[in-house]
Amino acid sequence: MSALQRALADMHEQLWDDDRGMVRLYGLHLVRETALGALLDLESGRVERARRALREVLKHQYPMDADPRWAGTFKTHAAQPDAGTL
């Protein structure tokens, strides 16, 4: 593992919120970073944690029958209001 890969893995480990199953930074559970961290987990053999993270990520995907501008996309963080509700 390269120094950069080790640094990314260490950062992911520090930001992982096991209670929520997501990456947490500045009090926000981040969707994109959780998905990217799941790739690191898969690479290091943490399949169950990656699966759990991706299940959490999918909870924040806008359905295909949503506003066409947002259909299929994801919130940036778990607490973000639904698109078009502000």
- Residue linked to tokens 């890969």: 5
Q: How many domains does the chain have?
A: 1
Q: Is residue 46 in a domain?
A: yes
Q: Which residues contact 55 (CB under 8 A, 6 or more apart)?
A: 21
Q: What is the mean pLDDT of residues 50-76?
A: 94
Q: Is residue 40 in a domain?
A: yes
Is this structure's pTM higher than 0.85? yes
Q: Is residue 79 in a domain?
A: no
Q: What is the mean pLDDT of residues 4-18?
A: 94
Cross-strand partners of 72: none
Q: What is the mean pLDDT of residues 68-74?
A: 90
| Residue 28 clears pLDDT 90, i.e. is over it | yes
pLDDT-derived band at 66 (thresholds 50, 70, 90) equals confident
Q: Is residue 84 in a domain?
A: no
| pLDDT on residue 86 | 61
